[in-house]
Amino acid sequence: MTNKKIVVIGGSAAGAKAAAKARRLDEFADITIVQKAPDLSMASCGYPYYVGGVFNDRNALLCTPAGVVRDPVFFQKAKKITALVETEVTAINRANKQVTCRHCKSGEHTTLAYDKLVIATGARANMPPIPGIDLPGVTTLLSMADTDYLRAIRDAGEVKRAVVIGGGLIGVEACEALQQSGIQVTVVEAVDQVLTFLDWDLAKLVENHMQAKGVRVLTGIGVKEFVGENGKLIGVKLADGTVLECGLAVMAIGVRPNSELAREARLAVGTFGGITVNQYMQTSDPDIYAGGDCVEIPSRITGSPAFAPMGDLANLEGRVIGENIICGNTATFPGTVHTGICKVFDFSAGSTGLSEKAAQRIGMDGYTTVVNASPDKPGFMGAKILVSKLLVDKEQRILGYQCVGLGDVSRQIATAAMAIQGKLKLADVINADLPYAPPFSPAIDHFITAAHIMENKLKGRMTGIGVREVWHKLQAGEKPFLLDGRNPNEYEEMHLGIGETLIPLGALRARLNELPADKDAEIICFCKISLRGYEAECILRAHGYTNVKVMEGGIMAWPYPREK
């Protein structure tokens, strides 16, 4: 028996993982990684943190936990894997089961035969043909080379202003990194919000936090031109003609799969341009597997193909591939539930499953959402407010959860992601037994509280109204009776100033005469987080008011300007 020949195109997350897993399962296979870049196994999700100075050792992006750089020598010694760096695969010859390689510097061509081929070519930035986009000073933040470039800018300290185009995950991380390098950043986002995995109402809270940190965020506007002078970027011209002066622009309007090689080899490619794979991560050619940012995987929520270029999924896919190319399709990959998380200065923002926007996009009906603002810990342990949004379908299955704020978002999203993957229903979360002690959570965990509010809503005990709907009512000149149920001292400290009447909850029963005489008048109750708002609703309903609502999330979820 001759040794199995395995060629892996791409040596970052999915490729390197597939190769390493294959090695562990077959000590004698010939395994070769062909990598276009000079580095291997780069922790690419860490690039913004190196740019931003969270750490200063570039090698940390390339090291094993024991501190050894994963270079070709390491791969050879520790893994017995041949890693050809600065080498590009130019063609796949499926008939001959060979790939043609070209060394990026010498230009030399070689061919490699394979029994099993793995395509892990990743993704590249969307770079629309905006005039000036090729100017020095316009970059992306996707490669080690980009990272070195931006880190050098940080270290030189000469660039004073930067524009980040795109307010998605990478845009927001780039923004934070540059701002923390002492650069004044403007983020320009074409749609009406940052972080489109969130719904607008939560994304706006993130945007407000970015503004509070000194970042300028412009939404709903595109870039018309990169303005140069003497062959150097000096500004970004927006669609309305405004020019934002800057010495640096980072393009971060999303990525697209590097699937050309696969296309040229006539492998099936999907609607997002990603390589089509089955549950074994196998392409339309059974001897060729693909994983990472160059493929499409199923959405576990909708069943439709999705493009989910995330580092964790790439690693998991690579592991499945490594097993399947050795053992013959003994492992499967189920797809994504669209889980993501992001640090944004002191905020964290995460989401799993469907946002409301996504539910609308796929035409789902009968779903219900609630917004929950409440602390991540008991007050005496230094609680921080989280604002989250839970979505259930008409069978009350947990389908989406998003959470933003200063507190522990990571646990929230991880818990919900597991609930969604377990196809759990609301009833399973309402009495969930989660780890509680004051250093870690309030007695009733924030996620469980969201489920409680949802239950109140679904059982008809609470009628919610979103902050956005309240705002639009007011903008349209409607005059609901707005009831702030807090105490005067809280009001003094902070209030909306949208025409609300302050009646502390404890005084409400005695002051019903201050409410509209018409018991069918619209009354919208709230407080800081709308817990007292809900209690006010209960009282008013019991006293015959028929049109009472709770503004979900209260003042903490209000993303519009407030008086104080």
User: Looking at residue 91, what DSSP letter applies?
Assistant: E
Distances (CA, A) of 560 to 35, 208, 347, 470, 555: 48, 9, 18, 11, 10
- Copy the structure tokens of residue 182: 């002492």
- Angle at which helix 200-212 crosses helix 467-475, to 10 degrees, equals 90
Long-range contacts of 309-314 (CB under 8 A, 24+ apart): 309/123, 309/255, 309/257, 310/336, 310/339, 310/340, 311/13, 311/44, 311/45, 314/12, 314/13, 314/14, 314/17, 314/120
Is the CB of residue 101 less than 8 Å from the CB of residue 116? no
Smallest separation (angstroms) from its own copies to the CB of 491: 11
Smallest separation (angstroms) from its own copies to the CB of 456: 8
Cα separation, 526 vs 531, whole angstroms:
8
The DSSP annotation for 411-442 comes to: HHHHHHHHHHHTT-BHHHHHT------TTT--
Smallest separation (angstroms) from its own copies to the CB of 530: 12
Which residues have CB under 8 Å from 278's CB, separation 6+? none
Smallest separation (angstroms) from its own copies to the CB of 511: 12
Choice between 235 and 375, CB closer to its own copies: 375
Smallest separation (angstroms) from its own copies to the CB of 532: 8
Smallest separation (angstroms) from its own copies to the CB of 265: 27
Smallest separation (angstroms) from its own copies to the CB of 524: 18
Please name the residue that has the structure tokens 């986002």.
189
Choice between 348 and 369, CB closer to its own copies: 348
- Copy the structure tokens of residue 47: 């690039």
Please name the residue that has the structure tokens 């510097």.
105
Choice between 193 and 339, CB closer to its own copies: 339
Choice between 285 and 445, CB closer to its own copies: 445
Q: Burial code of 119-137, b = ≥16 C-beta within 10 A, e = fewer?
A: bbbbbebeeeebebbebeb
Smallest separation (angstroms) from its own copies to the CB of 84: 19
Choice between 89 and 142, CB closer to its own copies: 142
Smallest separation (angstroms) from its own copies to the CB of 469: 24
Choice between 159 and 172, CB closer to its own copies: 172
Report CA torsion sign: 476, 481, 486, 487. positive
Choice between 230 and 431, CB closer to its own copies: 431
Choice between 54 and 190, CB closer to its own copies: 54
- Copy the structure tokens of residue 212: 């509070």
Choice between 282 and 352, CB closer to its own copies: 352
Per DSSP, what are the bridge partners of residue 415? none
